[in-house]
Amino acid sequence: MAMDVGGKKGGVMADMNIVPLIDILLVLLIIFMAITPTVPKGLEALVPQPSPPNTKDNPDLLSKTIVVQVLANDTVKINDESTTWDTMGSRLGDIFKERAEKVAFVKGDDSVQFAEVARAIDIMREAGIDKVGLITAKIEAGQ
């Protein structure tokens, strides 16, 4: 805080020194500008939308849809076909080798930890699948 003394008829007059305040604001501005680009980004996920009620299932669409199910007791299925963690990547690579659309879905049991579902997503991405969607119980029920 600075003070002007003398010269004026009113006596002592106080003027606020705002230079330190501006310095602090500029430092905070630079800190926030540096932190903003490093905000973590999550995984991109597709969530399938339920079909409208009273519509028939398209068999051609069902044959194109690939769903990887992560079940309890460390078991994995690809469209109701049992597989193991070791062979899942090569099997998915064979399935998507000649497909233009590389989209698949993953579904985990309620009793399975998310780490197992994340492991399945990693294997799917390594097999060349571009987009991985998540299926939940509500989506499967059509809600």
Sorted by where each begins, the domain ranges of the chain are 2-38, 59-141
Query: b/e map of 13-24 (b: 16 or more CB within 10 Å)?
Result: eeeeeeeeeeee
Tokens 């068999």 correspond to what residue? Answer: 59
Domain 59-141 has CATH 3.40.1550.20: no
Question: What are the tens digits of pLDDT across the range 11-31?
Answer: 677 777 888 889 999 999 999
Cβ pair 36, 30 in contact under 8 A: no
Q: What is the pLDDT of residues 71-92, one digit of tens each?
A: 888 889 988 888 888 998 888 8
pLDDT at residue 22 in the model: 92
Q: Is the pLDDT of residue 134 over 60?
A: yes
| Percent of the chain with pLDDT strictly greater than 90 | 13
Give me the phi and psi of 99, to 5 degrees please. -95, 140
Supply the pLDDT for residue 66: 86
Is residue 90 helix, strand or coil?
helix
Mean pLDDT across 95-103: 82
Arithmetic mean of pLDDT, 97-120: 86
Residue 95 phi, psi dihedral angles, 5° rounding: -65, -45
Q: Is residue 143 pLDDT above 90, yes or no? A: no
What DSSP string describes 30-46?
A: HHHHHHGGG-------B
